[in-house]
Amino acid sequence: MHWADFTAQRLKLECGENLVAASGITPSGEFHIGHLREILSAEMIHRACLDAGLNSRYIFIVDSMDPLRKVYPFLSKEYEQYIGYPLANIPAPNPDGTPSQGGVSYAEHFLEPFLEALRQIGVSPEIVMNHQTYENGEFAGKINAAIENSNEIRGIIEEISGRELPDEWFPFKPLGSDGSMDGVTVTEYEKPYVHWTDRHGKSGSADIRKAEGKLPWRIDWAARWGIHGITCEPAGKDHGASGGSFDTGLPICRILGDKPPAKMVYEWIQLKGSGPMSSSTGNTIGPIEALSLVPPEILRYLIAGSKMNKHIDFNTGPALFQMADEYERLVANPPTGSDDELNKRQRVARDTQVAALRLSQVSHGADPSDSLAGVSFRHLAMLAQIKSSDDDIWASLFESGHIFEPNPSNALKDRLSRMRYWINSVHFPDDARIVIQSKLTEDARSNLDEGQMNFIANLKQSISGISWNEKQISKTIMDSINASNIPAREAYAAIYWAVLGQRFGPRASSLLVEIGSEKLEQLLP
């Protein structure tokens, strides 16, 4: 059974019919595709719950109340002054990293493009800006409870995380006179006010019913489970580590009077060969960039087709062919077979794959076969490189029997436009790239024997001046083959050596049409 369906079943037993799945991300910088796993893990469980006939909501909590931790490499020095301020309260950076005037907040600035990516990938969560939850007083009850149970919570954090908390630790971090929560010390609690003094020596009070401070992360997380009635929130393995925030969150949530969701941890997505993704090291690919290369259903399939505890290598190079073609193959030939004729393992495999396909669809409930392009990535990559006109590609696919009507489906048009983008990007693998030579290379010449050289010479002669279309070119090639008296296989190999510098290639006539007669004449010896 698929992990999402399995979880839905378990949630039904443990939590009943009304479920809330959640994700939470701090918008401290550009989002990357790693965040997509956070989102999609929860969203797929949400969909699985709906599919199981349960009532389910999916909320995406944006940690807009989290403070700016440090001046990231993409920020200018001016951001020094904003360290410790909630992300909702500071200005967005300009492209050069300097703070902008007016306009949206830092949190919204980074959130907006991510939401666009979510839209494209078919995720439509209820969005909760965490600072608003503080502003409208929904946190007040939990903050009060946390303060009243301060000692117990301190004990939990110290014991489970093994961390020692300073004496002045307090389960609420008020904003000081300048709006930063750094260097602020709590002096007294007088419900609903937390009195403080800050690093400038000033003192004041924070109303726990307004966004005048926040709970520390480990408590904040536990509190929101109760506030939103969250029954499921998969967390990254950083939170899942022993002694991590999940482990402390569970008992803290109970102290605050609520039933916590079950611990659920997902592995990270890594960029092939370069380790975990990190905004600060620049080792990252944004969701938008990923979506410009990979169709959304295939990106979803990357997550849906992997078990939660397996790390995923995201590779925008050769592995993309494999992943895309695997998806295509599955959609074209979904696993079949009745329970009787399959053994247990085969049934599990079948059900898991069918579910992965179901969950990969951009629209919930859509028929997977609507996303069928009908042609492999590899083949499309080849066509896209040798044909500059989209219409020529549709014609070719129709002729070769890949598609059954001259007009392409939307799925196919979509594939091609992403394919062209990929080919023009640095990500496209070199060995899939068709490179037209400008002259006969040494390497090519050494691979050609006398007969092949004669054939090339013959071809060059007879091809000049013919009307430049596939039929004529094809005919001319065959005439030259016959005239040269060498096997056709060798003749074609000769063409590929001359034109591409390698032994194989796409259909010669299609290739030559695109090259053009002039360029070909210069190229052939």
Partner RNA sequence: GGGCCUGUAGCUUAGUCAGGUAGAGCGCCGGGCUUUUAACCCGGUGGCCGUGGGUUCGAAUCCCAUCAGGCCCGCCA
Cβ-based nearer residue to RNA, 169 or 268: 268
SS3 191: coil
Residue list 68-97, contact with RNA (CB under 7 A): 69
**Per CB under 7 A, which region of 33-41, 224-232, 248-256, 456-464 contacts RNA?**
33-41
Residues ≥6 apart with Cβ < 8 Å to 508: 473, 474, 477, 492, 495, 496
**Per CB under 7 A, which region of 66-74, 118-126, 413-421, 459-467 contacts RNA?**
66-74
SS3 299: helix
Distance CA 375, CA 107 (A): 41
Residue 239 touches RNA, criterion: CB under 7 A: yes
Distance CA 392, CA 58 (A): 44
Q: How far is the CB of 311 from RNA (least distance, A)?
A: 6
Q: How far is the CB of 283 from RNA (least distance, A)?
A: 9
Q: How far is the CB of 430 from RNA (least distance, A)?
A: 11
What is the sign, positive or negative, of the torsion defined by CA atoms of 278, 282, 283, 288?
Answer: positive
Q: Which of 16, 15, 6, 17 is nearest to 44 (CA)?
A: 6
Q: How far is the CB of 365 from RNA (least distance, A)?
A: 24
Residue 145 burial class via C-beta count within 10 angstroms: exposed 0-12, middle 13-18, buried 19 and up? buried
Distance CA 140, CA 136 (A): 9
Near RNA by CB under 7 A: residue from 55, 94, 280, 464: 280
Residues ≥6 apart with Cβ < 8 Å to 321: 376, 377, 378, 381, 429, 432
Cβ-based nearer residue to RNA, 360 or 510: 510
Distance CA 222, CA 524 (A): 72
Residue 345 touches RNA, criterion: CB under 7 A: yes
Residue 269 touches RNA, criterion: CB under 7 A: yes
State which H helix or E strand residue 329 sits in. Answer: helix 318-332
Q: How many residues bind RNA (CB under 7 A)?
A: 86
Q: Which of 28, 14, 78 is nearest to 232 (CA)?
A: 14
Residue 235 touches RNA, criterion: CB under 7 A: yes
Cβ-based nearer residue to RNA, 9 or 203: 9
**386 neighbors 433 (Cβ within 8 angstroms):** no
Distance CA 340, CA 33 (A): 41
Residue list 13-32, contact with RNA (CB under 7 A): 25-26, 28, 32
Q: How far is the CB of 200 from RNA (least distance, A)?
A: 21
Distance CA 359, CA 305 (A): 9
SS3 186: strand
Near RNA by CB under 7 A: residue from 8, 37, 75, 358: 37
**What does DSSP assign to residue 281?**
T
List the structure tokens of 214: 């926040």
Residue 236 touches RNA, criterion: CB under 7 A: yes
**311 neighbors 272 (Cβ within 8 angstroms):** no
Q: How far is the CB of 101 from RNA (least distance, A)?
A: 26
Cβ-based nearer residue to RNA, 191 or 395: 395
Cβ-based nearer residue to RNA, 74 or 366: 74
Residue 240 touches RNA, criterion: CB under 7 A: yes
Residue list 395-414, contact with RNA (CB under 7 A): 396, 399-400, 402
Contact string 306-335 vs RNA (x = CB under 7 A): xx-xxx-x--------x--xx--x------
Residue list 100-159, contact with RNA (CB under 7 A): none
Cβ-based nearer residue to RNA, 96 or 164: 164
Look-up of token digits 């007009």: 407
Near RNA by CB under 7 A: residue from 53, 73, 103, 275: 275
Residue list 471-510, contact with RNA (CB under 7 A): 478, 481-482, 488-489, 491-493, 495-496, 500, 502, 504-507, 510
Near RNA by CB under 7 A: residue from 74, 169, 193, 217: 217
Near RNA by CB under 7 A: residue from 238, 391, 449, 521: 238
Terminal-residue alpha carbon distance, the chain: 61
Residue 279 touches RNA, criterion: CB under 7 A: yes
Cβ-based nearer residue to RNA, 167 or 430: 430
